[in-house]
Structure 1
Amino acid sequence: MRVRPEASILDSRAARTAASVHRLLVTGVWTALGCSPTVAAGLALGGDGSNLPLLAVAALPVGPAVAAALFSLRAHRPDLGDLHPSADWLRGWRSLAGRALLLWAPFLALLTVLSINLTHLDVAGVPGWWAAPLTVIAVTACLWVAVALVLVVLSEDAPVSVVARRAAYTLMTRPLVTLAVAVLLIVAAAVTLAWSEGALLIAAPVLLLALLRAVTA
């Protein structure tokens, strides 16, 4: 019995779609597991400003988990029957965790200092308008680390210092990329504020895939 070409094309598209959805789901599960220490610490510590340094330490696993997720999403090859996202995520974590931390840890340290200053402007005795430049620095740091984590996946052999400079250069010279990353960060913040960190973890694979495509476009 001869198979119609149309049926073959539809089967191929369905298989590719199923493989893509499978990878997103499995990558999401592994990313949630990688971030689980941070979520547990956040629930235990609460949102008190005095716990910001502890929350920053607890957030250290997030950087390697995001890098591993980006690695897994980049490795997706549905045309080759690729159905091994778990192996890709774990390989990405093993190969990129250390380099991702070299970018993520300084970002967390800067963000912690800025957050403490923003929440204690009255104690520091500085004028209220200082909040504006501090906020700009914090937002810029978030944009930079998002791009840097993508570039650390794309440039596995490049020194971390080179990746850091490339991320800053990308933000300065590619306004469409900067805009796209900013929109994704706004969406992530909106999801967290409207629902919870758990909702953000559920949406993370889709957001990270969009981030990967935005930076590599």
Structure 2
Amino acid sequence: MSADAQLRLRSAAQGRGELRDQPPTTRTREFGSGPLSKAAVLIHTLLTTEALLLITAAPGLIPLFLIGPTPLTALFLLPLGPATSAALYALHHRGTDLTDLHPARLYLQGLRLNTLPALKLWTPLLIWLTVTAFTLTHFRSTGLPTWWALIIAATALTTLLWGAHALILTSLFTFRARDTARLSAYFLLRHGRVTLGALSLLILTGAMTALLTEALPALLSAPLLLSLLHTARPVIAETKEDFTA
């Protein structure tokens, strides 16, 4: 992206974004600062967030697991967008004090703040991926040359990686949907390591689904999302510094 394009992007987003509401900081206590306590804090946060994510997404995931992929798959996956966004919010703002943990409250706060913004990006993303998947599964009937399938698959993969950036931004910051979309495309190439990290997690998720069971990524969604947040730290830091008021 040229310097002029970057300047226009910064001008468009500057001052329009802000951090999602954060819980008030609490004084760190001496009790619970050891490694075992930190491990207990992390495990408790992951398990609570995981349970709430699955409960939120259950109306779509349960029929999807029971009947498998159908033309209604995109509809079944709609609740997963806000659920994932709320989980990212809760994991990002997770507490470190064993005596003052509120992962459930953070998750519900994230769900309240992020449901509508997440759906504005998640819905068109699902529609596009559904059309792409249908095209690839019925590719022979299109009569197109094989290399077109490679282009379509590459486009779908790029869309998924863009969606990972967009989901992080919409979960942690308040931007207009179009600004989030533009920033996600900007970071897709600017922070190649973050994009490669998201790609590795996507490959890992696909491998677990194909080799083991589709339920395994759902059961490990909280650790996977925490890894995504860890990978995306440069994107989060730059957004906070350059694109928020």
TM-score, normalised to structure 1's length? 0.89
Which residue, out of 168, 178, 183, partners 1:161? 178
Aligned: 1:146 with 2:164 = yes
Which residue, out of 191, 205, 216, partners 1:188? 205
CA RMSD across the alignment: 1.7
Q: CA deviation at 1:35?
A: 1.9
Q: Is the 8 A contact 2:41 2:97 kept in 1?
A: no
Q: Is the 8 A contact 2:41 2:98 kept in 1?
A: no
Report the secondary structure of 2:34's partner residue: helix
CA distance in 2, matches of 1:13, 1:87: 24
Q: Would the alpha carbon gap of residues 44 and 80 (structure 1) be closer, same or farther in structure 2, given more than 3 Å must change?
A: closer
Q: CA deviation at 1:198?
A: 1.7
Read off the aligned partner of 1:84 and give its amino acid letter.
H
Q: CA deviation at 1:10?
A: 8.0
Match of 1:104 in 2: 122
Q: CA deviation at 1:197?
A: 2.4
Q: Deviations over 1:110-138 (max 9, x none)?
A: 10111111111122221222110000011
Unaligned ranges ≥5, structure 2: 1-29, 235-245
Q: CA deviation at 1:82?
A: 3.4
Q: Is the 8 A contact 2:38 2:98 kept in 1?
A: no
Which residue, out of 8, 31, 35, partners 2:57? 35
Match of 2:232 in 1: 215
| Larger RCO (alpha carbons 8 Å, 6+ apart) | 2
Q: Deviations over 1:8-40 (max 9, x none)?
A: 788533222211110001101111112212222
Q: CA deviation at 1:178?
A: 0.9
Read off the aligned partner of 2:169 and give its amino acid letter.
L
CA distance in 2, matches of 1:82, 1:20: 13
TM-score, normalised to structure 2's length? 0.79
Match of 1:4 in 2: none
CA distance in 2, matches of 1:125, 1:104: 31
Which residue, out of 60, 84, 105, partners 2:102? 84
Match of 1:16 in 2: 38
Q: CA deviation at 1:80?
A: 7.4
Q: Is the 8 A contact 1:147 1:167 kept in 2?
A: yes
Q: Deviations over 1:152-210 (max 9, x none)?
A: 1221x211111111111111111111111100111111111122222111211111001
Which residue, out of 138, 142, 153, partners 1:120? 138
Read off the aligned partner of 1:40 and give its amino acid letter.
I
Q: 1:41-52 alignment to 2 at 5 Å?
A: 41-47=63-69, 51-52=70-71
Q: Is the 8 A contact 1:76 1:82 kept in 2?
A: no
Q: Would the alpha carbon gap of residues 10 and 70 (structure 1) be closer, same or farther in structure 2, given more than 3 Å must change?
A: closer
Unaligned ranges ≥5, structure 1: 1-7
Q: CA deviation at 1:43?
A: 2.8
Q: Between Structure 1 and Structure 2, how many residues are aligned?
A: 205
Q: Is the 8 A contact 1:148 1:167 kept in 2?
A: yes
Q: Would the alpha carbon gap of residues 84 and 10 (structure 1) be closer, same or farther in structure 2, given more than 3 Å must change?
A: closer
- Give percent identity, aligned residues only: 35
Read off the aligned partner of 2:68 and give its amino acid letter.
G
Report the secondary structure of 1:78's partner residue: coil
Which structure has more helix as a fraction of its residues?
Answer: 1
